Every structure is written in C-alpha cells, then in structure tokens.
Amino acid sequence: MPRVKIESPESYVHESLLTVRVTDLNYGNHLGNDRVLGYTQEARIQFFKSHNMSELDFWGTSLIQGDAAISYRSEGFLNDQIKIEIAVNDVTNSSFDLVYRLTNETTNQVLALAKTRMVCFDYDTRKVTAIPQGFKSLFG
Amino acid sequence: MVHTINKRVCGFHCDAYGHVNNARYLEFFEEARWSALHDYDLVTKLHELQLQFFVVNVNVDFKKPVVTDDIATISTSLGNLKRKTISFFQTIEVSGQITTKAEVTFVLFDTQNNRAVTISDTLVSYFKPLENA
C-alpha cells in the first residue's frame, strides 16, 4: 500500500473547533491517534450541516468512506482547542476528497493533515451513485 | 510471521449507519498491534529502553463494511523499515474476505531525550519475528 502524501490546499471552505476531552487521551497522556479520524468525521458533519446536509442525506444520496490517510505533525493535550479546516478536492463522477487541516490553537501548531475519500452511495440498493448536482455546483 | 487476533463486533462498535464506525477501525488495529507486541515481549523490551510508540502516519482502505456479530480477524505484520520509522501492514478479514487494509507508520520516541530514535539493528531484530516471510 503506497503511503499517501497529503498536501495542504491553499484555501479551505469550512472550519470548526473541538476541545480535547479526557476520554480522547491515551497512555501517552496525549490525544490518541485513533481519535483524529473521529475528529475529522465530527468536522465533516458540521460542514455538511452548514449546507443543511448530512452523510445520510447528501443532496438526495448518501456517503461512505472509501479510504483515509492521516499524517500526524504534533501532539494534542487535555483541554487544547483544535481547529479543523476542510477543503474539497478531486471531485469525480461519484466521489471526492475532503482534506482536513487540524491546528492546535493552544500551541499554534499543525496537529495533523488528513484526507478521506467520500463515495456517493445508495444504502438501499448498495450501489455507488453519481455526485449530486447540488454539491457539484458548489464544489465541483 | 503474521500475528492475528479474532474479535466479535458488538453493537457499540457500530454507528448510526449500522456498520463499524470508520474511527473505530483504528482502535481495532491498535488493539491488534498491542496484542502482537505483547506476544513478542516487545512492550517490556521497549519499556526498559524507555521508548514509546508514536504513530506518525496512517493509511486505511475501507473495502467492505463490518457489522454487528461479525468475527473480525485482524492481522498484523512487519511493513517497511526505514532509518527512523517502522510500519505495520494490517488487515481485517470477515469470513475470509478482506474488508479493511491499513499501513500504520510509527517512530520510537525516547521519552528521556524527547526525540525519535534511529532504528538500530537491535531494534530491528525485536520486530523481525513479525516479518511476513
């Protein structure tokens, strides 16, 4: 499996803020690596919500996640404020990338860069569907 | 050799979509890595050297959903060895079909000197039993 290199886009279309909770820490007393993917999902849901959409109602279709890549850059600690910016990239007929830049606002350092491939999917027919025009017109 | 654990998927592993939540897979993979490290006594050895695992990169391919009551077989083997990083190749299989693949890259962090150490031949030898020969 080739290691994915994540480039930070020049601009982002959405940002949200999360606080590191005690349950997000692991034995290293820092933010657990597994939690970062959960943070990206939370930010993604907020992004979709800002367009009155969700992962299950995405302009009439739904979304599944095809892949994920995370590059960890620095640590997060209890009560740190994490800003999560989202950019849309590489929109094709049925899928697109979301790129996330997580910045630790408390230490002013980039905490991680992440990328998830989102695939349009019909949960009833279990089939991949086309990108909705509503999304394409905004980000395509 | 490839190290494997079996895990029954429970309701609390799944999300509103009825399948294992994407972030939960990372937890499954981490549990399997810990199990492998314990079985090869690596936790003790690295603890004695005051080295901790810091994950620096994760790549996951989600191929098929995993759902409640599935028995997930999680495999771990040695991946790429570089000057400062080591990776593990990991898969999840359900009923003989690969549902999820990952490469997890980490550094060994010297907690005394606050820096990632160079992967010495001795350290490599600790991980060699996990090589998928």
Give the tens place of pLDDT for each residue, B15-64. Answer: 888 899 999 999 999 999 999 999 999 999 999 999 999 999 999 999 99
Residue-wise pLDDT for B103-122, tens only, equals 999 999 998 999 999 999 99
Distance of CA B119 to the CA centre of its chain: 18
Which DSSP string corresponds to B61-117?
Answer: EE-S--BTT-EEEEEEEEEEE-SS-EEEEEEEEETTEEEEEEEEEEEEEETTTTEEP
Whose tokens are 């050895």? That residue is B45
* 8 Å CB contact of A69 and B60: yes
Of residues A41 and B133, which shows the higher confidence score? A41
Spatial separation of the C-alpha atoms in residues B109 and A56, rounded to whole Å: 41
Alpha carbon distance B117, B10 (integer Å)? 38
- pLDDT above 80: residue A3: no
Contact at CB, A3 and B61, closer than 8 angstroms: no
Asked if the C-beta of A128 comes within 8 angstroms of chain B's C-beta atoms, the answer is no
**B15 classed as catalytic:** yes
* Residue numbers in B near A68 (CB within 8 A): 22, 58-60, 62
B90 to chain A: which residues are within 8 Å by CB?
Answer: none
**Structural domains of chain B, ranges and CATH numbers in brackets:** 3-130 (3.10.129.10)
Tell me which chain A residues have a C-beta less than 8 angstroms from the C-beta of B76.
none
Q: What is the pLDDT of residue A116?
A: 97
Provide the angle, in degrees to the nearest 10, between the axes of the packed helices A33-49 and B22-39: 180
Residues B61, A67: C-beta atoms closer than 8 Å: yes
What distance separates the 2 farthest-apart alpha carbons in chain B? 47
Among the listed residues A64, A101, A86, the one whose alpha carbon sits nearest the alpha carbon of residue A139 = A86
pTM, to two decimals:
0.90
Residue A77 touches chain B, beta carbons under 8 Å: no
Q: Say whether A65 and B57 touch across the interface (CB within 8 A).
A: no
For residue A69, the chain B residue with the least C-alpha distance is B59
Going along chain A from its start, the domains and CATH numbers come out as 14-135 (3.10.129.10)
Coil, helix or strand at residue A4: coil
Q: Do B17 and A123 touch (CB under 8 A)?
A: yes
Segment A113-118 shows an average pLDDT of: 97
Residues 103-122 of A with CB under 8 A from B: 116
What tens digit of pLDDT does each residue of A49-75 get? 999 999 999 999 999 999 999 999 999
**Which pairing describes strands A95-104 and A81-89: parallel, antiparallel, or unpaired?**
antiparallel
User: What pLDDT does residue A1 have?
Assistant: 65
Q: Which of A4, A56, A123 sits opposite B59 (nearest CB)?
A: A4
d(CA B74, CA B109): 26
Q: How many CA atoms lie within 13 A of A89 on its CB side?
A: 17
Per-residue confidence band for B8, with pLDDT thresholds at 50, 70 and 90: very high
Residue B98 has pLDDT above 90, yes or no: yes
- Partners of residue B77 in chain A, C-beta under 8 Å: none
DSSP tag of A22 = G
Q: Is A38 helix (H, G, I), strand (E, B) or coil?
A: helix
Nearest CA in chain B to A34: B26
